[in-house]
Amino acid sequence: MASGLCIAVVGATGAAGQTTLRILEERKFPVRELRTFASERSVGKSVTFRGEPVAIRRLEPAAFRGVDIAFFSAGSAQARKYAPMIVKAGATVIDKSNAFRMDPDVPLVVPEINAHAARGHHGILACPNCTTIVTVMPLKPLHDAGRLTRVIATSFQAVSGAGVNGIAELREQTLAWARGEPLVPRHFPHQIAFNLVPAIDTFGPDGYTGEEMKLVNETRKILELPGLRVAPTTVRVPVFTSHSIAVTAETEVKITAAHARDLFERFPGLTLWDDPARQRYPMPVAVEGQDDCFVGRIREDLSSPNGLSFWVVGDQLRKGAATNAVQIAELLLRS
């Protein structure tokens, strides 16, 4: 019998699903058989894997018989509807949506940070929100060195976070602007080209958005710090790929800028780009296409004795989504 696993990718036509296929290829994940799924309207179309076309199938229980791992990036409603059925068919689901992240029975995993959490899964493992992943990567070594007490985080989130429709909208509005035509919002609540939209997801009664509360709650769960104080602001920006986050972290024990540089440099999955004299710091266009999260602009907080400010950028479709999901699958393989 051929070696390797039977892998399903649900949402294979979408931005995260397409990136998952690329990353499975790049990391030479042992795929013996690939089954791809999307919405009803895509059934019969195909996607490409290892240079070969793979037909999109209909989402139904029989199609998951024999599947070992299913990568799910088709949204929360679909995950709630289909993931339990896929688990029942015998597969382990790695879900990219918000559906199960805060379920106490579902591990929420960033492999460099809490690989141990994956061990206790009951068939579903969740991948955190893309902004949360990029933010927690540098927070973990700071916490290990000085115990985090407070985090202030402001995100600058690319349109890729809103999937293929978000990417298409920025492109269309930019072309319309160049032609002198009106910019019509279809997917985002306001014009996204040449604008910033400080509202991702719906507003709660306290004035925070769903995206902001994901950053608060998921950071606490991943770092196992239920009482961590987090002040979030999340903003959609006219960038195609890669999320950037301006973070100020306070710790019980002071961490100097030099110490933080050293900690970041040694943490797996982080790359330090912090050379202001040479104008070297992470930016979305420089980070796009890479798996690490990039940290720079590291400086001690002028307003708080134990505060440290920095800037972190990660490719939302890779470490913020597909790479993290494939890393979780690699953890499962190793165990």
Residues recognised as catalytic: 130, 243
What are the helix (H) ranges across 39-129? 76-88, 111-114
Q: Taking CB under 6 A as the rule, does residue 111 contact ligand A2P?
A: no
Cα 51 to Cα 183: distance, rounded to the nearest angstrom: 37
Q: Taking CB under 6 A as the rule, does residue 331 contact ligand A2P?
A: no
Judged by CB, which is closer to ligand A2P: 43, or 196? 43
Of 207-266, which residues contact ligand A2P (CB under 6 A)?
A: none
Q: How far is the CB of 2 from ligand A2P (least distance, A)?
A: 27
Q: Taking CB under 6 A as the rule, does residue 48 contact ligand A2P?
A: no
For the chain, helix (H) and strand (E) counts, in that order, are 9, 13
Judged by CB, which is closer to ligand A2P: 78, or 92? 78
Q: How far is the CB of 150 from ligand A2P (least distance, A)?
A: 33
Q: Taking CB under 6 A as the rule, does residue 183 contact ligand A2P?
A: no
Region of 106-114, 126-134, 161-169, 215-223 interacting with ligand A2P (CB under 6 A) = 161-169
Q: How far is the CB of 311 from ligand A2P (least distance, A)?
A: 26
Q: Taking CB under 6 A as the rule, does residue 59 contact ligand A2P?
A: yes
Structure token digits, residue 174: 């930019």
Cα 323 to Cα 133: distance, rounded to the nearest angstrom: 11
What are the helix (H) ranges across the chain? 15-26, 76-88, 111-114, 130-146, 163-178, 210-223, 257-266, 284-287, 323-334
- Pick from 39, 46, 76, 233 the residue near ligand A2P by CB under 6 A: 39
User: Could you please report the per-residue DSSP string of 241-285?
Assistant: S-EEEEEEEEESS---HHHHHHHHHHSTTEEE--BGGGTB---HH
Q: How far is the CB of 314 from ligand A2P (least distance, A)?
A: 18
DSSP letter, residue 4: S
* # chain residues binding ligand A2P, by CB under 6 A: 18
Distance of CA 163 to the CA centre of its chain: 12
- Pick from 5, 6, 8, 17 the residue near ligand A2P by CB under 6 A: 17
First to last CA, the chain: 22
Smallest CA-to-CA distance from 86 within 59, 56, 104, 106 is with 59
Q: At residue 116, what is the residue type?
A: H
Q: Nearest residue to ligand A2P, using CB?
A: 14
Q: How far is the CB of 16 from ligand A2P (least distance, A)?
A: 6
Dihedral of CA atoms 139, 117, 106, 64 in degrees, nearest 10, equals 120
Backbone angles phi, psi at 226, to 5 degrees: -60, -25
Judged by CB, which is closer to ligand A2P: 48, or 256? 48
- Pick from 41, 179, 186, 334 the residue near ligand A2P by CB under 6 A: 41
Judged by CB, which is closer to ligand A2P: 45, or 190? 45
**Residue position matching structure tokens 């895509």:** 42
Judged by CB, which is closer to ligand A2P: 91, or 249? 91
Judged by CB, which is closer to ligand A2P: 113, or 192? 192
- Pick from 74, 159, 260, 326 the residue near ligand A2P by CB under 6 A: 74
Q: Taking CB under 6 A as the rule, does residue 36 contact ligand A2P?
A: no
Residue 92 near residue 115 (C-beta atoms within 8 A): no
Q: Which residues bind ligand A2P (CB under 6 A)?
A: 11-17, 38-39, 41-42, 59, 74-75, 78, 163-165
